[in-house]
Amino acid sequence: MSGLYSLEFEQRKNYLYAHLASESVSVAVIEGYTREIAKKMDEIGATHVLVYRDIPNSLPISEVYQTALESLERLRGKKLAIVNPYVEIEKDLEFGLTVGKNRGGNYNI
């Protein structure tokens, strides 16, 4: 856990569940939580993760693109699904996942 966000894990039968919460998002937040998720997945041998993303905003689209590329390296070979309760940022998140999918990521929202 970081001072910028909270991240809690539950190991479930066939996947890792991660509850992510923050008041806002930044490049540092994304770098931090993707590193933590990848590390936890490696520790327990998980290949699938479901992230409940409780963050009410997204980055500017140019930063979404860049962080998607960087996150792809950390999450390569892992299946990622995101639950987003904030409809107003759905398109931004879909764009980031599409960037990852187009480069070999196995992502869904």
Whether 28 shows a pLDDT value over 60: the answer reads: yes
What is the residue type of 29? Answer: V
Point out which residues pair with 82 in neighbouring strands.
51
Which pTM does this prediction carry? 0.90
What is the residue type of 106? Answer: N
- Confidence bin at 109 (pLDDT 50/70/90): confident
Q: What is the pLDDT of residue 2?
A: 65
Query: What DSSP assignment string belongs to 41-99?
Result: HHHHT--EEEEEEE-S----HHHHHHHHHHHHHHHTT-EEEEE---GGGHHHHHHHHHH
